[in-house]
Amino acid sequence: MIDFVKYISENTPKLTAAKKKAMLEDLAESLQYPETAYDHEKGAQIPNPQSKADYVNEKITYWIKIRVMGTRRERAAKAQIIEELDI
């Protein structure tokens, strides 16, 4: 998986570490990062074991995959040749 959070962090030299952290927090919130997860073994809510950075990367990767697959489906649908019915 491409690490988008790392890429953004490394390519925004004008942002301080605090601003980069705030940006990650805002991205995670906008993507509805769940602070807790259900642990089936314990039968209780626990702090989410997935980091916010991993969650954001997963969501961005999923979004890209959906967009690319949608484009490919549209392209395939346009490429289909419909035979005329000559009756």
Domain-by-domain residue ranges, the chain? Answer: 1-30
In which band, very low, low, confident or very high, does the pLDDT at 84 lie, cut at 50, 70 and 90?
A: confident
Q: What's the pTM value of the predicted model, to 2 decimals? A: 0.78
- Measured CA to CA, the distance from residue 29 to residue 20 in angstroms comes to 14
The DSSP result for 14-66, as a single string, is TS-HHHHHHHHHHHHHHTT--SEEEETTTTEEEE-SS-HHHHHHHHHHHHHHH
Residue 36 bridge partners (DSSP): 47
| Structure tokens, 14 | 């004008």
Q: Which of 31, 69, 60, 70 is nearest to 48 (CA)?
A: 31
pLDDT in tens, 37-76: 999 999 999 999 999 999 999 999 999 999 999 999 999 8
